[in-house]
Amino acid sequence: MTAEHVDRVATVEGTEHVVVPSPIGELTVVAEGGSITHLLMDAAKYRPDDDTLGRPGDPAAEPFASAALQLGQYFAGERTEFDLPLAPRGDEFHQKVWALLREIPYGETRSYGDLARALGDRNLAQAVGTANGRNPIAVVVPCHRVIGADGSLVGYAGGLDRKRFLLSLEEPPADEVGRLF
Residues with a known catalytic role: 143
Exposure b/e, 98-133, CB count within 10 A at least 16 = b: bebbeebeeeebbbbbbbbbbbeeeebbebbbbbbb
Closest CA to 6 of 29, 32, 38: 38
Whether the Cβ atoms of residue 55 and residue 49 lie closer than 8 Å to each other: no
Q: Which residues pair with 38 in a beta bridge?
A: 30
Q: What are phi and psi of 109, to 5 degrees?
A: -130, 165
At 147 the three-state DSSP class reads strand
Give, as one character, the DSSP assignment of residue 86: B
Whether the Cβ atoms of residue 158 and residue 105 lie closer than 8 Å to each other: no
**Angle at CA of residue 134, ends 81 and 32, nearest 5°:** 65
Q: What are phi and psi of 12, to 5 degrees?
A: -125, 160
Whether the Cβ atoms of residue 130 and residue 118 lie closer than 8 Å to each other: no
